[in-house]
Amino acid sequence: MTTRLPLAALFAAILCGTASAQMARTEPQDGPGKETASKQVPLSRGEIQLSFAPVVKRAAPSVVNVYASHVDKRSNARASAMDEFMRRFFGEPESGRGPRGDRAQKSLGSGVLVDGSGLVITNAHVIDNMNEVRVALSDRREFEASIVLRDSRTDLAVIRIKQPPAGLAPMPFGDADKLEVGDFVMAIGNPFGVGQTVTQGIVSALARTQVGSADYQYFIQTDAAINPGNSGGALVNLQGQLVGINTAIYSQSGGSHGIGFAIPVSMVKAVVTAAKDGQTVVRRPWLGARIQNVTPDIADSMGLDHPTGVLVASLQAKSPAEESGLKRGDLILTIDGQVVDDPEAFGYRFALKGTSGQTKLGILRGTTRQSVMVKLITAPETRPRDSLKVRARSPFLGASFVNTSPAVAEDLQVDFPTEGVAVEAVDEGSIAARAGLQKGDIVVAVNGLPIATTKDLDRVTRTTPGAWEVVINRGGEVMTSIFSG
């Protein structure tokens, strides 16, 4: 007859390392071979007092509060007049301004100490557009911090305490790949600014890819309560190790509905390593191939029992993918032995490989399984970007453009085009924005003239035609629009 640990004893074994766990009685249920653990009251004071407190004591000192602000300097006279106007007509309190009448935008989030030198990992959106950052430790001491690196594609950022005190307690990294659905985890952060708060739950799902808060979609889902202010805080396993950075929630009310998402620690380590190496941007490997999802029909046609992997749709000339021997129609199943089920999982796994050495892709070509070695390099900038900010009145006024190259395509997350110039940014409310231009659009031609470089576009925008015929490539779809002059 087999036996099972009662829940209390299981917690004792996990949290306290107890070697003498009380075994539960089992009774047969509905026939031979079917038995279950019987319920019973705690048998000792130790079982009654079981708690997550030992884990919290190890992890909590590593979690900090992050206060960020963007202050616009204003003159005293102008600020005083504006204050009076806002109070009279809109009831705005004076507390929205600094002592000199400076207007401030503020952001509140959490962060995790990852190095004794004062490095803190947080979410990029916590410090987005901010120019002043402060960090409050768990003992309420506050310090000024500087921004070391922001990586909007992962929604991660690294900040550094300017004058770090002695005795900082960085949190050790865990292994997110060892997490399983059902594992206990804790979320530690500063929700709603109430102060450091710990919530407990389980891993609800792994490899979530439809969250939409970053380019690299591969999140840990948990039902541990995560609320506004928890962003950048720690998701911790029962060894007190960091397994994720809490970044988003699914909510219709703004509060926790038990569906929270964390960026796996594997990606966190890559961003922290880049910051420690003195980088201001995170460099990732370039494959040079367009991949697509495997539908049930494609899986059936390839003899697969279920959709898995990613299909190579096209290859760029002289790219690592082409030079490795990959071919159009190959099905990529694994990266260094780790299964990839969709383009998001492939992008996440490939991005973690760094930009030196090689990685092994397991592929299916026809009915034959084989492997290819892909060189890990950054996307090349095959020609200067020659950035252009259009200032002449035209449909492009308020947009910035760069010459295309594999590096630009990687930065903008678009397929590398053979011609045209890329829209790098569009000012909000500008003529270009009202014309419908978007970041990542490729301008191919204007008024029948091919646009190969930003110099071509600059010359065209200095003319004053009666109308503008603009041809753009957006995600592979070529569109033509007509605008008045």
421 has which bridge partners? Answer: 403, 443
* Calpha distance 461→479 (Å, rounded): 19
Distance of CA 4 to the CA centre of its chain: 40
At 134, phi and psi to the nearest 5?
A: -130, 150
Task: Assess whether 155 carries a catalytic annotation.
Answer: yes
Distance of CA 180 to the CA centre of its chain: 21
Token pair, residue 423, equals 């829209």
Token pair, residue 124, equals 């990029």
DSSP classification of residue 384: -
* Calpha distance 100→91 (Å, rounded): 20
Which residue type sits at 65? N
Let me know the angle formed at the C-alpha of 265 by 264 and 268, rounded to the nearest 5 degrees: 105
User: Could you give the dihedral angle defined by the CA atoms of residues 139, 141, 143 and 148, in that order, rounded to the nearest 10 degrees?
Assistant: 0
Distance of CA 191 to the CA centre of its chain: 20
CA atoms within 13 Å, Cβ hemisphere of 320: 22
Which one is catalytic: 83, 107, 125, 456? 125
DSSP classification of residue 463: S
At 288, phi and psi to the nearest 5?
A: 80, 35
Token pair, residue 135, equals 């960090």
In 289-405, which ranges are continuous DSSP H helix?
Answer: 296-301, 320-324, 343-351
Task: Assess whether 231 carries a catalytic annotation.
Answer: yes
307: left (phi over 0), alpha (psi -120 to 50) or beta: beta
Which one is catalytic: 231, 256, 324, 400? 231
* Calpha distance 222→260 (Å, rounded): 5
Q: In this structure, how many other beta carbons lie within 10 angstroms of the beta carbon of residue 275? A: 22
**Could you identify the residue written with the tokens 């092994």?**
360
Which one is catalytic: 151, 155, 330, 441? 155
285 contacts: CB under 8 Å, gap ≥ 6: 320, 350, 351, 353, 354, 355, 359, 376, 377, 378
> Active-site residues: which are they?
125, 155, 231
